[in-house]
């Protein structure tokens, strides 16, 4: 039978909750302070990002302190009327059976718009008259709508637990589910969750359910839970693709053009393919993709584009045979493009010189800068007179001379000879 | 010593000045004599005199005012179809004034033209044959489309033989009052492999140091002329540092504008000098050949060469395992 692991393995006690030790302690102390009468703040406001354990903490504490938990969340109506009906509960000291009671209003972020009209005002009224602990939960307590409400509450912040903490949770679950994952697998999932324990557990279930063993290859393709559905994701789907078709399809998700995507893969593949053979295969695939780009350019036959895509996606994905990646390697912006823009002025000067040489030398500007320029450089550095003669013959300007001589002083000398 | 580029200064002016490619020159002379020239393809490696032969032919045909009847286009710089449509057409269709009814269009590095442009060119060649003859210079005639090839008389240029190369370089050194030692000539040939333009540039750069040109000087010049420290890059790759090797490669290409073909030629040379197990040398040469071929065909030098570096890194890893 399918049960969500987030429910099945929900922490029963606070010691199973990872991270946020201080927050949990603060909440516990506040709850216990009710034993000595009604405290100054009749409500606490737990806030923090999704999936870090706010609700779970309240549930676990209720269990530990043997209190009855009455919970209302986004699925309930929260108009003023609906909340006032519910307010009766809060105004009583305890449950029907004499036990103590916690009232939890979850997902207050959803409290907005017309449907929840007057909701916040109603909640403030309940807080003022509460005779049992009232716990409020929202992602963002600093929303202006909560300004007045905040002043009546004890604020407790929950933070994202570190990946290592999430790892503990995943290890606990894998023991209970009798799954033997490679160590890197859990690390990978934990890191990818970015502090969201719930999503980490969901990922783990999606990947591991029904399996006894879990290898890195089983998980590496995992998508970045719609947080950064961007070029990173696309590159990842390609470099860690398990099927050719999957890797090929990733191209459609890219919001950059094919050449830019090529650069991303070309930049990042080496750091994600640790095995030299895998890397050589991937680079070979990129080389073949490039050959087809050249063929398209030469023939203008764009139907060949499909082979460019094949090689740069499926070709790269299938190169992965033995590579293991421990830990999380970030994807980088193509450094080649950055280097190109940095050397822009230099290349422009070189091109201008190439054109000057071409006029005199009967070779293309490109060839000129590749074949003739290096010799000019030697001459310009070594023989000022000859340099001046050639500069005059080629009609080079000051900037070009300086570029070739690679020295202001030398260029100055050459220029004096010229004038 | 004269202060201009010697390779230009000593470029032959007339067909009779040309020192090699004897059979080709004879045929071209007969064209000049009969005052008729077919469309031609001059194919062969760089520095073997293709452009020079075309220019000499033009001078022999038209005399010193040959510039008026000649247009030189370089396909590497203007390779698109628009150049053919506009520049070439305009030049080709206007009649020539003078005794010879046609003009000459030299299309240099024609193998770098897109096939679209070549297709467009084919019609232009046909239509304006009476007013314009084409001479296409190319390193690889195979990259010129069949229909054009079939309209042209083919000429195959080859590297200068050793003896003629040496004689020419020695003569040039003499004229420029450069002291050129025998081992200097030898190493120029070794480094430039018969590419005369390169050989002359090398000689001039060496001579500019105002020292007798010996083997040592030639090597130091050619070393400097290629800022590509290929040996270092190769070792980086063999030691398994692919990313480091790729960075060095990028510097060569982007900072110094070293051509991919030059880098791969040096890689090929270094492989056989490298201190690696013998059986690996040929294996690496095989991969180098394949990538060299792709370089000719493909488009991006860094991508192609880094694919080679990745293979070398892989090989380096295998060698380590063997030990």
pLDDT tens, position by position, B25-49: 999 999 999 898 999 999 999 889 9
Distance in angstroms (rounded) separating the CA atoms of residues B102 and B92? 9
- Contact state of A374 with B226 under an 8 Å Cβ cutoff: yes
Contacts of B123 (CB under 8 A, 6+ apart): none
Residue A1 has pLDDT above 50, yes or no: no
CB atoms within 10 A of CB B5: 25
Closest CB from A280, A343, A367 relative to B76: A367
Closest CB from B115, B243, B317 relative to A298: B115
- The confidence score (pLDDT) of residue A224 equals 44
Q: Is the separation of the CB atoms in A158 and A135 below 8 Å?
A: no
Instruction: Give B257's contacts in chain A (Cβ within 8 Å).
Output: 347, 350, 369-370, 373
Helices and strands in chain A: count of H runs, count of E runs = 23, 7
- Segment A11-27 mean pLDDT: 89
Instruction: Give B201's contacts in chain A (Cβ within 8 Å).
Output: 371-372, 375
pLDDT band with cut points at 50, 70 and 90 for residue B236: very high
Chain B interface mutation, best of A291, A304, A334, A405, highest count of B Cβ atoms under 10 Å = A291
Instruction: Give A379's contacts in chain B (Cβ within 8 Å).
Output: 204-205, 208
Chain A interface mutation, best of B208, B287, B316, highest count of A Cβ atoms under 10 Å = B208
Residue A382 has pLDDT above 90, yes or no: no
Backbone dihedral angles phi then psi of residue A377, each to the nearest 5 degrees? -60, -45
pLDDT digits (tens, 9 = 90+) for B275-316: 899 999 999 999 999 999 998 887 799 999 999 999 999 999
Q: Which residues pair with B41 in a beta bridge?
A: B136, B154
Q: Which residue has the tokens 């050719």?
A: A244
Q: Which of A96-105, B97-106, B252-261 has the highest mean pLDDT?
A: B97-106
Q: Is the separation of the CB atoms in A370 and A364 below 8 Å?
A: no
- On average, the pLDDT of chain A sits at 83
- The confidence score (pLDDT) of residue B220 equals 84
- The confidence score (pLDDT) of residue B13 equals 92
- Å between A111 CA and nearest CA of chain B: 53
Q: Which residue has the higher pLDDT, B175 or A99?
A: B175
Q: Is A243 helix (H, G, I), strand (E, B) or coil?
A: coil
Closest CB from B205, B303, B316 relative to A287: B303
- Å between B75 CA and nearest CA of chain A: 8
Q: What is the ipTM of this complex?
A: 0.77
- Segment B5-23 mean pLDDT: 90
Distance in angstroms (rounded) separating the CA atoms of residues A111 and A70? 18
Closest CB from A279, A365, A386 relative to B310: A279
Q: Given phi > 0 = left and psi -120 to 50 = alpha, else beta, which region is A413?
A: alpha
Chain A interface mutation, best of B5, B57, B247, B262, highest count of A Cβ atoms under 10 Å = B5
- The confidence score (pLDDT) of residue A418 equals 83
Distance in angstroms (rounded) separating the CA atoms of residues B260 and B296? 9
Q: Is the separation of the CB atoms in B200 and B6 below 8 Å?
A: yes
- Å between A254 CA and nearest CA of chain B: 21
Name the token pair of A237. Answer: 């789907």
On the 0-12 / 13-18 / 19+ scale of CB atoms within 10 A, B321 is exposed
pLDDT band with cut points at 50, 70 and 90 for residue B122: confident
CA distance readout (Å), A134 to A68, A72, B252: 12, 11, 69
| Three-state secondary structure string covering A186-240 | HHHHHHHCCCCHHHHHHHHHHHHCCCCEECHHHHCCCCCCCCCCCHHHHHHHHHC
Q: Is the separation of the CB atoms in A15 and A28 below 8 Å?
A: no
- Å between A395 CA and nearest CA of chain B: 11
Q: Is the separation of the CB atoms in A267 and A336 below 8 Å?
A: yes
pLDDT digits (tens, 9 = 90+) for A312-362: 999 999 999 888 765 567 777 788 877 777 777 888 888 889 888 988 888
Q: Which residues pair with A378 in a beta bridge?
A: none
Distance in angstroms (rounded) separating the CA atoms of residues A378 and A67? 87
- Contact state of A282 with B310 under an 8 Å Cβ cutoff: yes
- Contact state of B208 with A383 under an 8 Å Cβ cutoff: yes
- Segment B151-159 mean pLDDT: 90
* DSSP code at position A313: I
CA distance readout (Å), B92 to B79, B86, B123, B251: 17, 10, 11, 43
pLDDT digits (tens, 9 = 90+) for A214-250: 777 666 655 444 444 467 788 888 998 888 998 988 8
Task: Give me the total of CB pairs closer than 8 Å, taking one residue from chain A and one from chain B.
Answer: 173
Instruction: Give A350's contacts in chain B (Cβ within 8 Å).
Output: 257
Q: Is the separation of the CB atoms in A204 and A175 below 8 Å?
A: no
């Amino acid at each position: 039978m399918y049960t969500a692991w987030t429910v099945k393995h929900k922490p029963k006690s606070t010691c199973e909750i990872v991270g946020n030790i201080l927050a949990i302690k603060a909440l516990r102390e506040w709850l216990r302070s009710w034993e000595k009468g009604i405290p100054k703040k009749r409500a606490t406001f737990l806030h923090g990002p999704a999936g870090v354990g706010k609700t779970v903490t309240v549930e676990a504490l209720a269990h530990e302190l043997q209190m009855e938990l009455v919970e209302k969340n986004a699925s309930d109506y929260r108009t003023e009327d609906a909340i006032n009906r519910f307010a009766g509960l809060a105004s009583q000291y305890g449950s029907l059976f004499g036990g103590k009671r916690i009232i939890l209003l979850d997902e207050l972020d959803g409290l907005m718009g017309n449907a929840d009209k007057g909701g916040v005002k109603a909640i403030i009224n309940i807080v003022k008259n509460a005779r049992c602990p009232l716990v409020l939960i929202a992602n963002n307590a600093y929303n202006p709508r909560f300004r007045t409400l905040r002043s009546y509450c004890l604020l407790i912040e929950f933070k994202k637990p570190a990946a290592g903490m999430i790892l503990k949770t995943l290890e606990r679950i894998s023991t209970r589910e009798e799954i033997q994952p490679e160590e890197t697998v859990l690390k990978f999932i934990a890191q990818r969750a970015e502090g969201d324990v719930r999503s980490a557990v969901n990922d783990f279930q999606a990947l591991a359910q029904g399996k006894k063993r879990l290898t890195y290859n089983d998980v590496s393709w995992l998508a970045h839970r719609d947080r950064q559905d961007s070029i990173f994701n696309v590159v990842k789907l390609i470099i860690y693709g398990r099927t050719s078709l999957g890797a090929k399809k990733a191209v459609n998700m890219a919001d950059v053009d094919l050449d830019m995507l090529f650069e991303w893969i070309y930049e990042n593949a080496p750091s994600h393919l640790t095995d030299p053979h895998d890397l050589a295969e991937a680079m070979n695939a990129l080389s073949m993709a490039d050959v087809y780009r050249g063929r398209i350019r030469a023939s203008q036959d764009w139907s060949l584009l499909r082979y460019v895509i094949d090689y740069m996606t499926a070709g790269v994905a299938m190169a992965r045979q033995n590579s293991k990646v421990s830990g999380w390697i970030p994807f980088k912006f193509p450094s080649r493009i950055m280097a190109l823009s940095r050397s822009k002025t230099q290349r422009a000067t070189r091109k201008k010189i190439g054109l000057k040489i071409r006029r005199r030398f009967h070779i293309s500007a490109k060839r000129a800068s590749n074949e003739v320029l290096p010799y000019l450089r030697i001459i310009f550095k070594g023989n000022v007179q000859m340099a001046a003669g050639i500069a005059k013959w080629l009609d080079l300007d000051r900037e070009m001379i300086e570029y070739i001589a690679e020295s202001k002083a030398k260029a100055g000398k050459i220029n004096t000879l010229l004038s | 010593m004269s202060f201009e580029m010697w390779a230009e200064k000593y470029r032959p002016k007339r067909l009779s000045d040309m020192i090699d490619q004897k059979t080709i020159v004879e045929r071209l002379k007969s064209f000049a004599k009969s005052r008729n020239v077919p469309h031609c393809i001059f194919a062969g490696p760089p520095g073997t005199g293709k452009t020079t032969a075309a220019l000499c032919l033009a001078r022999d045909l038209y005399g010193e005012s040959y510039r008026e009847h000649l247009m030189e286009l370089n396909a590497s710089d203007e390779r698109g179809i628009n150049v053919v449509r506009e520049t070439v057409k305009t030049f080709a269709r206007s009649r020539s004034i003078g005794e010879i009814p046609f003009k000459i269009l030299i299309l240099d590095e024609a193998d770098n033209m897109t096939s679209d442009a070549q297709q467009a060119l084919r019609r232009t060649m046909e239509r304006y044959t009476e007013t314009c003859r084409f001479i296409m210079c190319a390193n690889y005639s195979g990259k010129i489309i069949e229909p054009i090839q079939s309209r042209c008389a083919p000429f195959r240029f080859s590297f200068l033989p050793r003896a003629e190369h040496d004689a020419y370089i020695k003569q040039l050194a003499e004229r420029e009052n450069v002291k050129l030692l025998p081992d200097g000539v030898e190493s120029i040939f070794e480094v430039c492999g018969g590419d005369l333009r390169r050989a002359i540039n090398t000689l001039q750069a060496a001579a500019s140091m105002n020292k007798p040109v010996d083997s040592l000087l030639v090597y130091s010049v050619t070393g400097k002329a290629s800022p590509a420290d290929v040996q270092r890059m190769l070792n980086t790759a063999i030691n398994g540092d692919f990313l480091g090797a790729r960075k060095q490669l990028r510097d060569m290409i982007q900072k110094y504008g070293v051509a991919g073909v030059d880098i791969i030629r040096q890689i090929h040379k270094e492989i056989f000098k490298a201190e690696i197990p013998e059986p690996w040398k040929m294996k690496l040469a095989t991969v180098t050949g394949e990538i060299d071929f792709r370089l000719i065909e493909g488009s991006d030098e860094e991508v192609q060469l880094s694919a080679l570096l990745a293979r070398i890194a892989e090989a380096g890893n295998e060698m380590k395992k063997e030990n």
